[in-house]
Amino acid sequence: MSDLVGVDLGGTKILARFVNPETGWSEKRVKRPTPSTGPSDVLEAVAEVIEELDPDRTSPAIGIGVPGLVTADGIVTRCPNINGWDSPVDVAATLSKRLDRPVAVGNDVNVGTLAEHRVGAGQGTTAMAGVFVGTGVGGGLIINNRLVAGARGMAGEIGHVTTHTGGRVCGCGERGHLEAYAGRAGLEREARRLHAAGTENELVRLAQNGRIKSSHIAKALASGDSVTEDLIADAVEALAIGIGSMATLLDLPLVVMGGGVVDRLGKDFLQQISESTAFGGFGSSVCELKLAERIDDAGVVGAAILAADQFL
Ligand SMILES: [Zn+2]
């Protein structure tokens, strides 16, 4: 199979590389900042990055990962992480016309999940989910060896399932979502709220006025700070409810977990989730939790695999 161009379109930068979709091996890189002047400038910049990387047009198809909701046919329905992008755009059609080649488009977390499935921790299973716990909580879904996008690109968005009815306010504005309990930003909001209400805690003491980072969470846990322990217990509970319910509903034998918070807290954190009495559905015996392999440039690799799946 020939090497394909994979592109990671991020909120701040665009990265393109050549990728072997069977091994995940990648080479060469072209990078530039993401324009903040709206989708047509962004797509033109993406096209220019691809032309710079592949001037001879050796790649038979292109794959692109985008930080927004993306339908299976490559329409980006929501993209709040890129400035000036406030309405749906048919990225696949626009770019395939511009580049005169087929273009596959997927959500960045979804294509990261696809990379884990083919060349990472999920190899060998036909169905799995990726759950990435960072600033927020993102997820991707593989069923019958294929990435599932859903009708509006929402499939796999485990961060916004409700685990606590009427609970903490989520980054999306709704209440009680998993992300409000397990995402780094949600933990930070709660730690600062407690601090403002007079409950001192290590997280705010370590971060001062800066961002509470995953490393602060690990440090505060190691020092035995009880507020942090309670917050992480809530995060574990939310993840156990959400992951267990999803694994039972969709019959997933494997969930691969990554992201900044998981990278810091490691296997112990996964074990706490597995052993939680809150684990949803038929319980943790139906679903193994594994750490992601943290593939280099997973977004780029997964985007190229998506293009290979769709067009080769
Ligand atoms: Zn939400």
Cβ-in-10-Å burial (0-12, 13-18, 19+) of 118 comes to buried
Each residue of 143-165: pLDDT tens digit? 999 999 999 899 999 999 999 99
Ligand 1 centroid, distance to 179 Cα (angstroms)? 6
Q: Is the dihedral of CA 125, 128, 132, 138 positive or negative?
A: positive
Ligand 1 centroid, distance to 113 Cα (angstroms)? 20
Pairing of strands 13-19, 4-9: antiparallel
Long-range contacts of 85-90 (CB under 8 A, 24+ apart): 85/38, 85/39, 85/42, 89/39, 89/43
E strands, the chain, are 4-9, 13-19, 26-33, 62-66, 69-70, 75-78, 89-90, 103-107, 128-133, 137-143, 146-147, 254-258, 288-291
Residue 96 and residue 103 in contact, taking contact as beta carbons nearer than 8 Å: yes
Q: Which two tokens stand for residue 161?
A: 């399932």
pLDDT of 1? 76
Ligand 1 centroid, distance to 178 Cα (angstroms)? 7
pLDDT of 2? 86
Percent of the chain beyond pLDDT 90?
Answer: 96
Ligand 1 centroid, distance to 157 Cα (angstroms)? 9
How far is it, in rounded angstroms, from Cα 223 to Cα 302? Answer: 38
pTM for the whole structure: 0.95
Each residue of 197-256: pLDDT tens digit? 999 999 999 999 999 999 999 999 999 999 999 999 999 999 999 999 999 999 999 999
**What is the mean pLDDT of the segment spanning 57-80?**
95
Q: Which two tokens stand for residue 262?
A: 């998981």
| Domains with residue ranges and CATH for the chain | 4-114+296-311 (3.30.420.40), 124-291 (3.30.420.40)
**What is the pLDDT of the chain when averaged over all its residues?**
96
Residue 162 carries which DSSP code?
A: B
Alpha helices in 124-225 (DSSP H): 178-182, 184-196, 202-207, 214-222
Each residue of 87-127: pLDDT tens digit? 999 999 999 999 999 999 999 999 999 999 999 999 999 99
Ligand 1 centroid, distance to 243 Cα (angstroms)? 15
